[in-house]
Amino acid sequence: MSPSCPMCTKWLDEPEFRIAELEHTRVMLNRDQFFPGYTFVFTREHVTELFHLSPPVRQGVMEEVTAVAAALYDLFQPAKMNYELLGNMVPHMHWHLVPRFATDPLWPRPIWSEPHAETLLAPEEYAGRIALIRDRLGL
What's this model's pTM, rounded to 2 decimal places?
Answer: 0.96
pLDDT of residue 3: 78
Q: Is the pLDDT of residue 56 over 80?
A: yes
The structural domain count of the chain equals 1
Burial class (CB in 10 A: 0-12, 13-18, 19+), 40: buried
Least confident of 19-23, 64-68, 86-90, 132-136: 86-90
- Please check whether residue 79 lies inside any domain of the structure: yes
Average pLDDT, the chain: 96
For the segment 47-65, the average pLDDT, to the nearest whole number, is 97
Q: Per residue in 122-132, pLDDT tens?
A: 999 999 999 99
Q: Per residue in 9-48, pLDDT tens?
A: 999 999 999 999 999 999 999 999 999 999 999 999 999 9
Tell me, letter by letter, the H, E, C secondary structure of 17-83: HEEEECCCEEEEECCCCCCCCCEEEEECCCCCCHHHCCHHHHHHHHHHHHHHHHHHHHHHCCCEEEE
For the segment 73-88, the average pLDDT, to the nearest whole number, is 96
Q: Give which of 87, 83, 80, 85 is closest to 66, Cα–Cα.
A: 83
Q: Give the total residue count for the chain.
A: 139
Domain that includes residue 76, residue range: 6-137
CATH number, domain containing residue 17: 3.30.428.10
- Please check whether residue 1 lies inside any domain of the structure: no
Least confident of 6-10, 53-57, 62-66: 6-10
- Please check whether residue 51 lies inside any domain of the structure: yes
pLDDT of residue 53: 97
Neighbours of 123 (CB within 10 A): 8
Q: For residue 137, which phi and psi values (nearest 5 degrees)?
A: -80, -10
